[in-house]
């Protein structure tokens, strides 16, 4: 018998001072049986960083054809392709050809550093790629906020994110490992 996804409900208030964006979202996240809280919360962090009414979660781990999040325009053109973790460089090259902008949120401590060093030469050639790295500590702190019914607030200013929920606050500053010119 196949395991089913665990459903998480999130009431999210975003105040992004860098983009002058203030919005509330009622989100439903499905956590794949093989996904842990840290990965799910990094997906949610990616949503907070690029929040938009048209930004949607992809099928995630259950398919290789979709990113973790994407932003499409009304004609179906993909403007933003967001991936969490350490994706295969061939997959990122394919995504780069399909989307205007590709973003990777890498996490996992030393594993993320090794992934970048192994793929750096190829990935730095992509014209529309941005790679963020999250520290092991901040990822663990973020995972601690995971709850089946979450009420979170995210304040972003000067690239730093403050996420609060249930009386706890997590400060995250995604490190830009690489950003193509213009991104």
- Does residue 146 sit within a domain? yes
| Residue 1 within a domain | no
Q: Over 60-74, what HEC string results?
A: HHHCCCCCCEEEECC
Answering whether pTM is above 0.85, one says yes
Number of domains making up the chain: 1
Q: Domain range for residue 153?
A: 6-179
Whether pLDDT at 64 is above 70: no
Domain of residue 65, CATH code: 3.10.640.10
- Segment 22-45, tens digit of pLDDT: 999 999 999 988 899 999 999 999
């Amino acid at each position: 018998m196949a395991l089913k996804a665990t459903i998480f409900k999130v009431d999210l208030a975003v105040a992004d001072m860098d983009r002058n964006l203030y919005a509330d979202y009622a989100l439903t996240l499905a956590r794949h049986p093989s996904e842990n809280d840290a990965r799910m919360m990094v997906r949610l962090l990616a949503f907070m960083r690029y929040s938009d009414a048209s930004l949607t979660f992809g099928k995630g781990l259950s398919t290789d054809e979709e990113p973790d999040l994407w932003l499409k325009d009304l004609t179906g053109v993909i403007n933003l392709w967001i991936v969490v973790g350490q994706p295969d460089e061939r997959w990122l090259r394919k995504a780069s050809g399909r989307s205007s902008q590709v973003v990777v949120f890498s996490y996992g401590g030393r594993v993320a550093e090794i992934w970048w060093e192994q793929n750096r030469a190829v990935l730095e050639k992509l014209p529309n790629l941005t790679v963020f790295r999250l520290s092991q500590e901040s990822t663990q702190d973020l995972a601690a906020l995971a709850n089946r019914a979450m009420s979170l607030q995210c304040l972003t200013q000067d690239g730093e994110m403050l996420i609060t929920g249930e009386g706890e606050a997590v400060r995250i500053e995604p490190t830009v490992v690489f950003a193509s010119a213009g991104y």
